[in-house]
């Protein structure tokens, strides 16, 4: 424990652990498989980073979030801790070099996306890496009954064939008891595994939900009352822009963010928000992963999510600094009905799945019996238009095909630009002598990227342009010219969604899809949706308790600061208050019948809702007579 606390102090600057971190670390160090349910912002990464630093070896971290991978690797490097990562968009040479460093270098962490685990290159080097721990982040992705099932997670357990004694730590912020059990089963946890669950209590976070026909005024009212940074989650890309423009028209600094923007645009908007150049970011759920901004005061959902898991994770981005913050949900009946209606579209018939699969193969002109291992840029708008299909249904079918391990569909794929010289050094020298105008860019490439004669190098256009002293647009123009002259092979940045075929094409009529699995996923989805609707529409129970109970945390107390708790406080009546109100009602109605309007005016020194509560109680007890006209006649009992 001394070593563990010394590491915590040395690299993170903390003197003490947060709740359960120490217990989870000790469980891992004792070589026990461990599952930890820790709310958003609860400090999950320390639970695998510290145990790996205690002894020799490398911690393999599996995460589906490229932004989070990059962020954690960058933070580890800042602390002087050597870490590596492999994710989509890296060249074969880069991946191979990374794996060699993990096997033979002095590195402590290797972050990978789950899709990498089954590649031949990864499996070739895996036995050579001295692992001390496997950490599975976003572990709920392994469960078909969870809200974010990813088939690639099912292959994680195969690592045990190579390292049967190495413990696995499964981490998630949101998993029901059923999903937690599924995680342990799918990861082949050994007997005696340990399970930890942090409290879902967020003492500084006030939840509230408002049913509204028009949301704009409420949104403006909230943001004018609550100062500070905020996030407004929207369901569609179009709405993010609409909300952002509406806020700016009303004097609130705002911008919008979604996966359809270029990487440069997304990075710029994200950085402007983090550095408080803009106050509010209106975004889809593509925003937020891997972003650590502790002083977010409001997270507002402008549209109702379809699962409490999503809502909890996104709302949890508010108030990570421990100061009072607000998570607000705006919704209406039409949304609820629309979500319920779209269940059929989300889980279409096998005939529709086969039809869209066939259309997808035709779109890429993929011949029968071919396709395995091929990747294509995918313009979903062109696809929907060409085949006269519904976009929502197409997205749902792509998800089903992905879950059936027929394809992978990456909406946020990013491949950086690459450059490789296509001439030898002597020819390049001759070219520079005859074309001195390109000397600066050629030397800039040679000085910035090792091995650029042998393998395509991923280049950072902004950094290279700054290093050379020219604008980005001019750099791209020069690279295109050099390519035309046969000096380099330049492949521009790719950001379009990608469809990758895991299996060869079969005839649509012969396509096998597990209908039972789809039906079970549909039932699980409906269960999550019903929980979300109950959370939104409930007017009496503490909202923090509603969330905690859903995730099997029954030890939480009422928060006292959500809208329901505040409403309950307002209507709580002490014995003294009840007796005082009863006496006044008796006095005012003793002589002549009195209207409720007049009575409420005469009792204006009491809260109206408390007076109504006493009146309702007295009427139910037959202690009060109320006429059809609503007049309080007299007491019938003492």
- Percentage of the chain beyond pLDDT 90 is 63
pLDDT of residue 295: 95
pLDDT(493) > 90: no
* Same-domain pairing of 476 and 584: no
Report yes or no on 285 lying in a domain. yes
Q: What is the CATH number of the domain that holds 47?
A: 3.40.50.300
- Beta carbons within 10 angstroms of residue 573's beta carbon: 18
Structure tokens at 301: 């959902």
pLDDT(291) > 80: no
Of 307-311, 371-375, 410-414, 481-485, the poorest mean pLDDT is in 410-414
Structure tokens at 244: 């952002």
pLDDT of residue 89: 65
Report yes or no on 349 lying in a domain. yes
Mean pLDDT of 606-629: 76
pLDDT of residue 331: 96
* Same-domain pairing of 141 and 160: yes
Mean pLDDT of 20-48: 92
Angle at alpha carbon of residue 441, lines to 440 and 442, rounded to 5°: 95
pLDDT of residue 638: 43
Q: Of 197, 220, 254, at which residue does a domain stop? A: 197
- Beta carbons within 10 angstroms of residue 74's beta carbon: 11
* Same-domain pairing of 163 and 233: no
Domain of 174?
Answer: 2-197
* Same-domain pairing of 290 and 273: yes
Express each pLDDT in 379-437 by its tens digit.
888 999 999 999 999 999 999 999 998 998 876 556 678 899 999 989 999 999 999 99
pLDDT of residue 413: 58
Report yes or no on 637 lying in a domain. no
* Same-domain pairing of 189 and 315: no
- Of 250, 253, 258, which Cα lies nearest the Cα of 228? 253
Question: Taking the alpha carbons of 422, 428, 432, 433 in that order, is the dihedral positive or negative?
Answer: negative
* Same-domain pairing of 12 and 139: yes
Structure tokens at 231: 């996030």
How far apart CA 169 and CA 152 sit, in angstroms, is: 17
pLDDT of residue 333: 92
Q: How many CA atoms lie within 13 A of 160 on its CB side?
A: 14
> pLDDT band at residue 637, thresholds of 50, 70 and 90?
very low
Report yes or no on 598 lying in a domain. yes
- Beta carbons within 10 angstroms of residue 66's beta carbon: 20
Across all residues in the chain, what is the average pLDDT?
Answer: 90
pLDDT of residue 628: 62
Backbone phi, then psi, for 86, in 5-degree steps? -130, 130
pLDDT of residue 79: 93
* Same-domain pairing of 321 and 241: yes
pLDDT of residue 94: 83
> pLDDT band at residue 375, thresholds of 50, 70 and 90?
confident
Report yes or no on 272 lying in a domain. yes
Name the β-bridge partners of 172: 37
Can you tell me whether residue 133 is helix, strand or coil?
strand
Report yes or no on 530 lying in a domain. no
* Same-domain pairing of 483 and 395: no
* Same-domain pairing of 88 and 155: yes
pLDDT of residue 269: 94
> pLDDT band at residue 29, thresholds of 50, 70 and 90?
very high
pLDDT of residue 634: 61
pLDDT(107) > 90: yes
> pLDDT band at residue 49, thresholds of 50, 70 and 90?
very high
Of 84-93, 182-191, 198-207, the poorest mean pLDDT is in 84-93
In the chain, the number of structural domains is: 5
Mean pLDDT of 83-100: 85
pLDDT(459) > 90: no
pLDDT of residue 334: 92
Q: Is pTM, for the whole model, over 0.85?
A: no
* Same-domain pairing of 75 and 192: yes
Paired sense of beta strands 325-331 and 296-301, if any? parallel
Q: Where are the beta strands (DSSP E) in 20-57?
A: 34-37
Report yes or no on 443 lying in a domain. yes
Report yes or no on 505 lying in a domain. yes
Name the β-bridge partners of 170: 35, 136
Query: Are the C-beta atoms of 344 and 392 separated by less than 8 Å?
Result: no
Can you tell me whether residue 226 is helix, strand or coil?
coil
* Same-domain pairing of 192 and 259: no
Between 415 and 229, residue with greater pLDDT: 229
């Amino acid at each position: 424990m001394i070593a563990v606390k010394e590491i915590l102090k040395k690299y993170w600057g903390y003197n003490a652990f947060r709740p359960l971190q120490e217990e989870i670390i000790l469980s891992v160090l004792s070589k026990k498989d461990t599952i930890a349910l820790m709310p958003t912002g609860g400090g999950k990464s320390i639970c695998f980073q510290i145990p790996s630093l205690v002894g020799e070896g490398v911690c393999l971290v599996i995460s589906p979030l490229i932004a989070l991978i990059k962020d954690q690797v960058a933070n580890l490097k800042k602390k002087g801790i050597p870490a590596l990562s492999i994710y989509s968009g890296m060249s074969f040479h880069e991946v191979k070099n990374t794996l060699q460093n993990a096997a033979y270098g002095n590195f402590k962490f290797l972050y990978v996306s789950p899709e990498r685990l089954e590649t031949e290159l990864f499996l070739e080097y895996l036995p050579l890496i001295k692992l001390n721990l496997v950490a599975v982040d976003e572990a709920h992705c392994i469960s078909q009954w969870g809200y974010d099932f990813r088939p690639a997670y099912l292959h994680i357990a195969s690592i045990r064939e190579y390292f049967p004694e190495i413990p696995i730590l499964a981490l998630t912020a949101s998993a029901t008891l059923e999903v937690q059990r599924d995680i342990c089963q799918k990861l082949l946890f050994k007997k005696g595994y340990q399970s930890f669950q942090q409290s879902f209590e967020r003492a500084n976070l006030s939840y509230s939900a408002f049913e509204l026909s028009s949301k704009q005024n409420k949104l403006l009212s909230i943001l004018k009352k609550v100062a500070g940074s905020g996030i407004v989650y929207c369901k569609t890309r179009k709405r993010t822009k609409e909300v952002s423009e509406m806020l700016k028209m009303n004097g609130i600094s705002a911008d919008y963010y979604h996966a359809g923007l270029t990487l440069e645009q997304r990075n710029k908007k994200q950085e402007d928000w983090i550095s408080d150049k803009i106050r509010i970011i209106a975004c889809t759920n593509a925003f937020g992963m891997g972003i650590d901004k502790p002083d977010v005061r409001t997270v507002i959902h402008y549209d109702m999510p379809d699962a409490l898991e999503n809502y909890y994770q996104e709302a949890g981005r508010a108030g990570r600094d421990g100061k009072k913050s607000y998570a607000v949900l705006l919704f209406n009946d039409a949304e609820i009905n629309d979500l319920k209606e779209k269940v059929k579209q989300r889980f279409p018939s096998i005939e529709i799945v086969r039809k869209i699969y066939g259309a997808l193969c035709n779109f890429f002109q993929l011949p029968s019996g071919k396709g395995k291992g091929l990747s294509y840029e995918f313009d979903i708008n062109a696809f929907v238009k060409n085949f006269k299909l519904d976009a929502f249904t197409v997205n749902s079918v792509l998800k089903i095909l992905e879950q059936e391990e027929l394809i992978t569909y990456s909406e946020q794929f990013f491949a950086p630009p690459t450059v490789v010289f296509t001439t030898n050094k002597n020819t390049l020298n001759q070219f520079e002598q005859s074309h001195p105008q390109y000397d600066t860019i050629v030397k800039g490439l040679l000085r910035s990227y090792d091995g650029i004669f042998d393998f395509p190098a991923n280049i950072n256009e902004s950094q290279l342009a700054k290093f050379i002293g020219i604008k980005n647009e001019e750099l791209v123009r020069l690279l295109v010219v050099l390519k035309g002259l046969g000096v380099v092979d330049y492949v521009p940045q790719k950001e379009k969604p990608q469809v990758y075929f895991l299996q060869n094409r079969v005839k649509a009529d012969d396509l096998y899809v597990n209908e039972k699995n789809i039906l079970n996923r549909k039932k699980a989805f409906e269960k999550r949706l019903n929980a979300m609707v109950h959370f939104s529409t409930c007017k009496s129970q503490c909202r923090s308790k509603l969330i905690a109970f859903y995730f099997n945390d029954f030890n939480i107390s009422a928060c006292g600061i959500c809208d329901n708790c505040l409403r309950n406080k307002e209507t709580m009546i002490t014995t003294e208050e009840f007796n005082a109100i009863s006496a006044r009602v008796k006095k005012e109605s003793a002589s002549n019948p009195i209207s409720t309007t007049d009575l409420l005016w005469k009792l204006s020194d009491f809260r109206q809702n408390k007076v109504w509560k006493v009146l309702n109680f007295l009427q139910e007890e037959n202690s009060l007579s109320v006429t059809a006209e609503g007049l309080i006649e007299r007491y019938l009992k003492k």
